[in-house]
Homo-oligomer: A and B are copies of this chain.
Amino acid sequence: MVTDLIYRELHSPHSGIFLNVKEYLHRSKSKFQQIEVFENETFGKVLILDGVVMLSERDEHYYHEMLVHPALTLLDEGMKVLIIGGGDGGTLRQVLKHNPSSVTIVEIDEDVINVSRKYFPLLASSFDDKRVKTIIGDGVEFVKKKKESGFDAVIVDSTDPVGPAEDLFSPEFYKAITEIISENGVFVTQSESPLFDKKFIVNLIKQLKTLFNNVENYIGPVPLYPAGIWSYTFASNKYTLSMHQKREIPGTRFYHNRMSFTTSKEILDEISGC
């Protein structure tokens, strides 16, 4: 009988987090990755992909609100949105708060959606909204083949840039994004930990600056992610984040419309002059 099950995740070679496992609920191997779900008494149900925490019931709002709202509040309601990744439905749920006319979501791993429907229905029930078109497939291929275009917003909600998500951080992919996004569109991607992945972030910003007039990195807390602080990178030809509209987004827990967005001095210093 298991009496003391502990989930442990390295965030650097010499540090990490642990979570007591109250109940181990699910484990399966999809075509792309290992999917696990367990219950922790503090954070609720936790979704793990390939041994990395994706979200918990208690902390998912920090990540999903900060990925979606800074960019989408720049646009008027009725926008056309593309989400790459995000099979748990958390990003989709926040996007729907902006009354989009349509949302296309391209998730490579159908099993993530199905597991999330079972264990995270608050998030994954968003797939049932009639404005949502769900495509099971490769996001990079979807974008490169221009299967759809004219998106007002493109949001990349991916796992780390190793394994299935690696090509979502390539120059070719970003170039292809510029061809399916509308002239005044906004692009945003999760962009890893400012403490542990500073070089990656600086490189990403430099790449995007060759393609968009305005590129900004900003940070927010995500308690179960490495160092508890996460970064997002925004790009647009027309907008900057400070132009965000003051409309209220219903039911947010962290984001609010008097917030402003920026990154650390260290990152600003690295990209100054680019």
Copy number in the complex reads 2
CB closest residue in chain B, given A260? B260
The one of B13, B229, B253 that contacts A229, using a Cβ cutoff of 8 Å: B229
Q: How many residues in A have their beta carbons less than 8 Å from beta carbons of B?
A: 39
Residue from A40, A264, A266, A268 with most neighbouring chain B CB atoms (10 Å):
A264
- Interface presence of A254 (CB below 8 A): yes
User: Which residues of B sit under 8 angstroms from A225, Cβ to Cβ?
Assistant: 228
The distance from the CB of A243 to the nearest CB of chain B, in whole angstroms, is 15
- Interface presence of A255 (CB below 8 A): yes
Cα–Cα distance between A268 and B248 once the two chains are bound (Å): 14
Asked if B228 and A256 sit within 8 Å, CB to CB, the answer is no
The one of B8, B259, B266 that contacts A262, using a Cβ cutoff of 8 Å: B259
6 nearest A-B pairs in the assembled complex, by CB-CB distance: A228-B228, A221-B229, A223-B227, A12-B42, A256-B265, A14-B41
Interface on A for B, CB 8 Å cutoff? 8, 12-20, 22, 40-43, 58-59, 195, 219, 221-223, 225, 227-229, 252-256, 258-260, 262, 264-266, 268
